């Protein structure tokens, strides 16, 4: 065999080796992708089971939350009043309601000596005395006050102001 034939066969062998390597890496990549897919699917199933268990446990959540809280009585009262029909109370229930509440009164107040003393209850008059206005020396100095003459350019009528296309609705 001559040199050219040897290099061609070597080239073909190298080409064959690269082909088998690429097949192996493709298989490895496919395996890696398949593993990732199965892991993701398994994770999704686990998360769905966890969420379902939370929703099943949450059915009694509000009852347990309101059982030991101050909102329990309010919530139960709201539920009970919505379930009740408009039934008038009997006379015995109305009579019993009168005995539940007791009338309470404050103790009688006594007038003490300091309450009779008029010095505590005189109106207070505040008088503000403002000093008279005076002309000061700096106010007389004309150099501090100058008059400026302002000149403005006269207004000019421009073409767009008279254009009817600009002012159409």
Residue 4 pLDDT: 65
Looking at the chain, the whole-number percentage of residues with pLDDT higher than 70 is 63
Cβ atoms 72, 66 nearer than 8 A = yes
Q: Give 127's pLDDT tier (boundaries 50, 70, 90).
A: confident
Q: In angstroms, rounded to a whole number, what is the distance separating the alpha carbons of residues 51 and 39? A: 18
Residue 136 pLDDT: 92
Mean of pLDDT values over 94-111: 73
The domain ranges of the chain are 3-48
Mean of pLDDT values over 91-95: 57
Task: Select the more confidently predicted residue: 1 or 126.
Answer: 126
Residue 26 has pLDDT above 70, yes or no: no
DSSP string covering 62-87: HHHHHHTSTHHHHHHHHHHHHHS---
Task: Select the more confidently predicted residue: 150 or 102.
Answer: 150
> What average pLDDT is seen over the chain?
76
Residue 158 pLDDT: 92
Cβ atoms 114, 120 nearer than 8 A = yes
For 33-91, the pLDDT digits (tens) are 888 888 999 999 999 888 887 777 766 666 666 566 666 666 666 666 555 555 555 55
Residue 169 pLDDT: 66
For 105-117, the pLDDT digits (tens) are 888 889 998 888 8
Residue 43 pLDDT: 92
> Residues for the chain: how many in total?
169
């Amino acid at each position: 065999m001559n040199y050219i034939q040897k290099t061609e066969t070597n080239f073909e062998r190298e080409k064959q080796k690269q082909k088998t390597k690429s097949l192996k890496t493709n298989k490895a990549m496919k395996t890696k992708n398949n593993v990732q897919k199965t892991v993701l699917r398994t994770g999704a199933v686990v998360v769905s089971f966890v969420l379902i268990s939370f929703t099943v446990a949450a059915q009694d959540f509000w009852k347990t939350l309101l059982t030991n809280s101050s909102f329990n009585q309010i919530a139960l009262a709201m539920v009970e009043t919505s379930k009740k029909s408009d039934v008038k109370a009997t006379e015995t229930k109305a009579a019993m309601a009168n005995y539940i509440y007791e009338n309470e009164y404050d103790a009688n107040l006594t007038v003490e000596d300091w309450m009779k003393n008029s010095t505590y209850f005189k109106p207070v008059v505040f008088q503000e005395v403002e000093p008279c206005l005076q002309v000061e020396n700096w106010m007389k100095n004309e150099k501090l006050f100058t008059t400026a003459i302002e000149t403005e350019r006269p207004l000019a009528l421009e073409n767009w102001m008279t254009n009817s296309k600009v002012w159409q609705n």
